[in-house]
Structures are given as structure tokens and as C-alpha cells.
Amino acid sequence: MCNNCKKKISFFCCLLLASLVLGSCAPNKKTVDAYRDPSDTRSAAQAPSSIPGPDVDQQKIQRDGPSALLPSRQQVSSTEEIKADAVLSLLTLVDDRIVEYEGKTAQWEKFTAEAATVNLDREQRDTITDCQIRLINILNGYNDLHRMLIRESSGQSVDASVIEKFVAAKRQDIRFLESDCQQIITADRQPGGWITGTLDRILVEKESELQEKMASGDYQQVIELYGSLPLEQGQQPAYQTTYNYGQALLRSGREEEAAEVFRELLASLQEQDLIQREFKLMQLIADIQFGMQNYEKAFERYVDIINRYAGLGENIEWVRKQQSMISARNSRGLEVRNFAELMRGYLAYNPERDAFKVSLQASRFLADFPDSSMVPTVNHIMYESRDRAEAWFAGLLQRIRMLKNEKNYQEALLAIEQLPMHEMPPDKKDLIRTLSDELTAADYEEAETRRLAQEEALQDTWSRGQDYLRAKEYDRAIEVFSTLADTSYADRANDKIAEASQLAAQEDRRVAAEYFVEAGKATDQEKRIDLLFKSRQLLQGILQKYPQSGLLDKTEKNLERIEEEIRSINPELLSEPDAGDRESMQQPMETTINGVPVRNRKEQVQTGYPQP
């Protein structure tokens, strides 16, 4: 289909180019209507044609190339007929492609609706979006070309933009037909199409992840993953996946739900006649019922197993013992109840929760009922559960010691705190307590080391702030003391911040007063204004930077006096937009008071500066 489409589109493109080239070489003639005269009663099949049609000899095309499509001089008896035929033929082709792509669009919309129900990954979603955009662009391109050709069929000569539009549409069309987009639609029409294949791949990945979580003992994650499997209607997960799900429920203390899962799995196996798996599941379901002390249901299951699988030999021995124990429940009730509890713990064993609980239960059962017919079974349970608990405990110790070596003492202590200590034998408890004491001591020593280091750092910061204060670098002192907030030095640091703020404010008020006095002596009006604004700026800075100085009221009164002086010179000076930046806009200059530079003058002077 793709090759035929490309050949057909290429043929008509060459045809259109031939008509345009020959038409441009012909003398100017009056343009005629592209449609036949209504009085011409001949059928379309009988109408004369001077150009090759879609059924042109393919061998000739392959031999001579696209030039084989160009009409000969003898065929070109009327340029107008060539142009009209080319337009009409091309219009027919474009209409065919519009119909084709409208069908593809409808099919793609159905496909995307189905894909929306699938949990696809980012790359797959991007592929669908890209294909949909390409499909829409192609259909829009053909629709635009259709409208242009309708205008051309009125008898006007073919415009070059029509050719360019057609060539672009043809290229997009062919690229789409050869792309994955076309293959996706084609594959999706068949069983096991693109969506189905994607679902199958995701299902395999999810089931693999579920198996990994089961192996690591993350039973809650197994349950959650099972619930999110991308299953189609009527589809079932793999046997091992459902079996792991049932085991996760069982080991999470949800025995009833686990039994129901296993019963459904058993029914499925019986339909497939898988004897070995069926036997294993029937035994597991019966043992769960026994452990939950549903003796009658368990007994019926055991009878069913014996009737079905008596020929399996040794595998039946376990079932017969279980059946005999249930039969003795009236005469040996305490023994049966203890064995049922042991069975339940054994089937639902979770080392993170149970530790050595099952092996300890088995030991107690052997001590309490040494003559029980179930001693061999209990011994088997005890040895198996002890091996599993020992493996778990060894892994636990390795993890705790690794955390200790990494000096992650708190996390190690938390792991110990969460252990089921009441389910451990005495030697394991002693080992854990010793390890806990070591961790606690190491954590204290580490914490003390950190505390001393922090105290030393705080002392260094305090000393640095003191040095700045003594050097009369008040702003830097305030900055350093401020970093001691929320530390043990906070109260002392606040006192030093207040002290530095007061000293800085006093210094700025002193300099502001000297500017004020110098302004009073200035004979130059501009210099006087400049000095007053410098004084004003310093006072405003005190209000902004030193709120803890205790001098805010005095500073505000000084500021009022300065602004009053400025207004006496010109009331509009303070209302100018750049009044606040006036001092910063001035060129640097050395201000002197009585011939002494202000920046070097540290001693307090007696001035006429207004004091409250």
C-alpha cells in the first residue's frame, strides 16, 4: 500500500510540473474554463486527453525516469487543456488522500482513547503525541491544497505555490507511511497489536518487580504492586505472581484473604490439570484452615487431598498426620490448640515481626508435649524456622555494625529499638543489649565531640565580634553578633548588638551634628544645602540600622531640626523626588570642620547642634 501511494503521488507531482513548464513556454492565450463545454455530450471516458494518465507504462518510467511523464510536442496541442487536466487530476488525487487521512484520523482517535487507559511510559506517550500531530498536519495540508486547487480549476494558470504545497504534502505523506506511526495503527488492528504488546511488556516488568519485593520481604509493596498490575478484562497474572501475593497477605496477618486467593488459584489450576501445583495449594489452604482452628474445613480439605493424591506416596504422610491431629482435638484439646497456633505462626512467618518466635514456640511445644505424634513435624518446623531466623539475625547484625562504622549511631539505635525483643532467645537479647550500650556510648562521645566543636566555633565568633567592637567597626560587629541568634550565646549577643548599635548611633549623631554646625557657617548656599542633606542622611540611617540603640527619640528630634532648616532655605527641597539620594549623587569631597577632616576626627566636639 505504501509503495503504491508513493508511486501515485510522485507521478502526479511530475505531471503537474510538466504542465507548468510547458504552459510557461506557450504564447499568451486567453484562458478558458477548465471544465468541458456543457454541450459536449461525450462521456469522460470518450473525452480527448493529451497527457498520460495514472496507468502510464511503468517500464517506460523506470527506463527513462520522470521525463517519461512529460508530454511530447505533438501531444501539446492546447496548453489550456493540459493545465486543466493537470489541476483536475491532481484534485482527484488530493481528494483521495483527504478521504484516506480522515479515515486514519478516526482510527487514531480510537487508538488514543484506548491508549489513555494504559499506564504507558513517557517515551510511549511522546510517540503517540508526535504521531497525532503529524497526522493532523498532513490532513490540514491536503485540505489547504484542495482549496487552492478549487480556485485554480476556475481557469487561472497554476501558481508555483500550489506545486510547493503539493510537494511538501507528498513528502509528509510518504514519511508518515514509512514511519512507526503507520506501523502502530496497522499493528493495532491485529491481535497482539501495539497497545497489547505494551501492556504485556509492562505486566512482565511489574511481575518481575513484585518478585524482587517478595524476595526482599517487602510484603506491603508486593500487595500494592499486585493491585496495580495492568490486566485486561479476563486476563490473569502468572501463577507465581498470584502465589506471591497470597504469601504476602499471609505474612502480613491477613490469613482469610490469603486463603481466598489460594482457593481461587487452586480452582484455576484444577481447570488446567496441573497436579503438582494443585496438590501444593490444597495442602497450603488446609494448613491455613488448621492454623486458624477451622478444624472441620481443614479436615475436609485433608480428606479431599488423600482421595485425590493417595498415589503420590510420601507427600501424603504430612496430610495424614495433620488429619489425625484434628481427629484427636476432643481428647487432646490443649495439644491440638498449641499445634494449630504453631502452624499459624509457621505459615505466616515474617522475620522482621516474629524474629525467633516460631522456633521458640516449637521448642516449648516439644517440652510440653514430648510424647506427641506430631514431634517429627514440630522438629521440622523448629529447625527450618530457626535457620530462617538465624539468617535474618545475621543480616541484622551486619546492617547495625555497618551503621556503627559509618557513625550513624541514631539510625542503628532506632533499628534496635524496633526489634521484637520478646521473641528472641536469651543469648540474642544479651548480644543486642551489649551492642545497644556500645552504640549509646559512641553516640554520646560523638555528640560531645560535636558539642565541643560547636562551642569552640561559637567562642571564635564571639571573639571576632568583640574585636570589631573594640575597633569601632560597629556594623561588622552587629553582623557577627547577629549570627549567634538561636545559640547559647544569644542573650549575650543581643546585649552586644544593643551596645554596638548605641555606639554607632552616637558616632553618626556626632558626625551629623558637625555637618549641621559646618552648614551654619557655610556662606555658599549650595554647600550649605549639601551639608544639611548629609546630616539628614546620617540621622535617617540611625533610624533604619540601629533600632536597638536607645537613641531613636533623640534622633527623630534632631532630624526634625535638620528638615526645618532645609525648609527655611527652600520648602520644595524635601519634596523633590531625588531628595533622599541627594548626598549619594554628589561628587566625593573632603568635608572639614575647623580645618580638620571629618572622617579623621574622632574626638567629641562641643557644637551648637540642637540637643534635646
Q: Which residues contact 504 (CB under 8 A, 6 or more apart)?
A: 474, 475, 478, 542, 545, 546, 549
pLDDT: which is higher, 527 or 52: 527
Tell me the mean pLDDT in the region 462-467. Answer: 92
- SS3 of 45, please? coil
What local confidence, expressed as pLDDT, does residue 399 receive? 93
| Closest CA relative to residue 74, chosen from 33, 39, 28, 22 | 22
What local confidence, expressed as pLDDT, does residue 75 receive? 39
Q: What pLDDT, in 10s, does the model give residues 348-371?
A: 999 888 999 999 999 999 999 999
What local confidence, expressed as pLDDT, does residue 334 receive? 93
pLDDT surpassing 90 at residue 430: yes
Distance of CA 207 to the CA centre of its chain: 22
State in Å, rounded, how far the first CA of the chain is from the last one: 101
Instruction: Determine the angle formed by the axes of helices 194-215 and 239-251, rounding to 10 degrees.
Output: 40
Q: Which residues contact 354 (CB under 8 A, 6 or more apart)?
A: 345, 389, 420, 423
Cβ pair 210, 225 in contact under 8 A:
yes
pLDDT: which is higher, 602 or 10: 10
What local confidence, expressed as pLDDT, does residue 186 receive? 66
Q: What percent of the chain has pLDDT over 70?
A: 72
| Closest CA relative to residue 491, chosen from 454, 462, 526 | 462
pLDDT: which is higher, 88 or 610: 88
Q: What pLDDT, in 10s, does the model give residues 104-152?
A: 888 777 777 767 766 666 777 777 788 888 888 888 888 888 887 777 6
What local confidence, expressed as pLDDT, does residue 337 receive? 94
What CA–CA distance (Å, rounded) separates 443 from 564? 66
pTM tops 0.85, yes or no: no
Which residue do the cell numbers 544479651 mark?
Answer: 430
Q: What pLDDT, in 10s, does the model give residues 527-581?
A: 988 999 998 999 999 898 888 888 888 889 998 988 888 888 888 888 765 555 5
Beta bridge partners of 597: 592
* Region label for 70, one of left (φ > 0), alpha (ψ between -120 and 50) or beta (otherwise): beta
What local confidence, expressed as pLDDT, does residue 428 receive? 92
What local confidence, expressed as pLDDT, does residue 196 receive? 56
What CA–CA distance (Å, rounded) separates 240 from 269? 12
Q: What percent of the chain has pLDDT over 90?
A: 25
- C-alpha distances (whole Å) from 519 to each of 533, 573, 607 are 10, 16, 12
Tell me the mean pLDDT in the region 380-406. Answer: 93
- Which runs of consecutive H residues, i.e. helices, occur in 78-121? 79-115
pLDDT surpassing 80 at residue 422: yes
What local confidence, expressed as pLDDT, does residue 56 receive? 41
Residue 356 burial (10 A CB sphere; 0-12, 13-18, 19+): buried
